Amino acid sequence: MAGSGYTDLREKLKSMMPYRDGHKGGGGGGSLPREPPEPPYDRKRRHQEDSGSEPSDYEEQKEEEEARKVKSGIRQLRLFSAEECAKIEARIEDVVSRAEKGLYKEHTVDRAPLRNKYFFGEGYTYGSQLQRRGPGQERLYPRGEVDAIPEWVHDLVIRKLVEHRVIPEGFVNSAVINDYQPGGCIVSHVDPIHIFERPIVSVSFFSDSALCFGCKFQFKPIRVSEPVLFLPVKRGSVTVLR
């Protein structure tokens, strides 16, 4: 997280709108909350269902252009070996164990069905925790309300990202672990642009997975449209989102 021209991002947020230092987030959550304008999603399927006809060449070209634009902002590289992954995964298991024992501060841990989230360095309110819903309402917790970034994250993860020039020295002041159970996912979102400096950097462990862009979610039961772009994510890979 960073804010240009400010030594503390909280000063930037205060200048944008009143900040409630005494705000306490509620439990739960689910998705990161920043909602962009509704993305184009699965137009081919919707067109076929609504009209029973094939999509036009124009529609297909537009979808392809959207996929190209999304892909142009993504960089992937394989940095972590199987041995390095195993070492880091053992540390993550320790984080989960410590959380279950109640050894972290209240706002370090956010639990949701099939997904637990662990904030380090900085944490912020989102989703059902917001007093006012909508884009730009996310707020950082007051300093000290989440635990510091563990040293092993600096030593085993951040240092390697710096060495390979993925990020500059000193760029990271927030590290978040998303722990997904089988069948778990996170709904479509944009990491809050008034809080996060770009790029957003993620490293995947434990298993292969995927990132999907341009999806539309429906719930009860959960369903999702075909994505504009499907991006395979391998264990030990780094994904840079600009």
Whether 124 is catalytic: yes
Radius of gyration of the chain (CA): 19
> Which pairs with CB-CB distance under 8 Å and at least 24 residues apart come from 178-182?
178/115, 178/116, 178/117, 179/92, 179/96, 179/115, 179/116, 179/117, 179/118, 180/114, 180/115, 180/209, 181/114, 181/115, 182/114
Per the residue annotation, which of 41, 118, 124, 126 is the catalytic one? Answer: 124
Please list the residues that pair with 115 across neighbouring strands: 112, 180
Q: What are the residue numbers of the active site?
A: 124
